[in-house]
Structure 1
Amino acid sequence: MASKVYKTAAEALEGLTFDGMTVMAGGFGLCGIPENLIAALRDSGVKDITAISNNAGVDGFGLGLLLATRQIKKMISSYVGENKEFERQYLSGELELEFNPQGTLAERCRAGGAGIPGFYTKTGVGTIIADGKEHREFNGETYILETGLVSDLSIVKAEKADTQGNLIFNKTARNFNPPMAMAGKVTVAEVEEIVPTGDLDPDEIHLPGVFVQRIVKCTFEKRIEQRTTRKREAH
């Protein structure tokens, strides 16, 4: 069996990128984002990406790197309020945006990974989110049809992996990573630690390795998205 372990993020993406591809990127804010794989995507020069992510990173970090180099053509996301370059590109018509309620986006990714082509939800009914979508009544309530999402490539970040790609995530860094990994035609995970197969307690594994094709051990900057402090109290 071919090894799933790669030496660098660039090597882990080799042969997987092409112009016009759809990429899912896990994370929430800057928590649990695949920062090394994002940087490797930038360095690959791939263009016209449709990026599916909860948010667009911040200026100069996370998906903000790909926005700065104009490699993202369209964003499918939920929250984009921390990135000035995103705002500038969107308002100037340089960037397409498919905006989703956060729960809807999470379920679209989960549905895609489960092989579910679509589902009905009440979220967005009566708003511009519902424009152009199928409406249907269930028990006297109106619902709209949302489609499942899949990607050509999913990039995720985990705390620990074994050599077969079974993953464990660190607390809230779990966020969008597991459903996006499941929804990728190919999934690459960057991790803090790789252990031999059999070292992980099966009951502690969050994502089975069947969903992960490549893994790479990386180092991380782990930025804080918004640092809030108070003055030290005198004693």
Structure 2
Amino acid sequence: MAPRGKKRIFIDDLGKRWGRDADHVLDLAIDGQLPLWIEFTDVFLQTPEKSSTGKSVGRLYEQVAVQPLPGELVQMRGRCDRMLIAAELACLTERGKEMRLTNAAGDDWGEVSMVGIKPTRLFAWMKDVTGLEKAQNIEPVPDYAGEAAPARAAATPAPVSPLNPVDHPCHAPELHLAVACWQALFADAGAAGQQLKKADVLRWLAEHHADLGKTAAERIATVVLPAK
């Protein structure tokens, strides 16, 4: 969650605000002109260095916002519409400390668990956006919707199959959500999608369908996951 009093704008909406694409926003972040952040749940942050015992120093976070390093952002150029899978994410904390973000299961536990990174979930704090606009005399495009829309605009569900249409007399709502979730997370992920976990599915459902009950979300996640 955003700290009280802070507003965010997601990368796609920021591109629309300036009449540019997401790669333009990424370039500003890569050049150090605009910090971009992304939120994760149930992840481990650890220092790049090892302790005297040979293990990385860090701890588990139920929810955390981090700033991907420029090298990570470069890998996202031209791929903002995809789910990227990585063993770890090099990033900065809110205090500016360099860390490595991994899933809760990592090398300290003797196994590898990949991290799913959705570039469309990158965001900037509005205070940084308006500061950049003022410094570089950038004017939002005339037909931009304003500051109220960005918080949810990036949460538009992916297009779903014509099967089970909403206007069908036998429409199944949970099946509809399950198909939308699968298309968003797994349709273009290929074999790498097998590394995604239940937490990734639950996070997508929470972001795109916040009114969904916990029991229903658990039920849908069980159906969506490719694991047998």
| TM superposition score normalised by structure 2 | 0.24
Greater fraction of residues in helix:
2
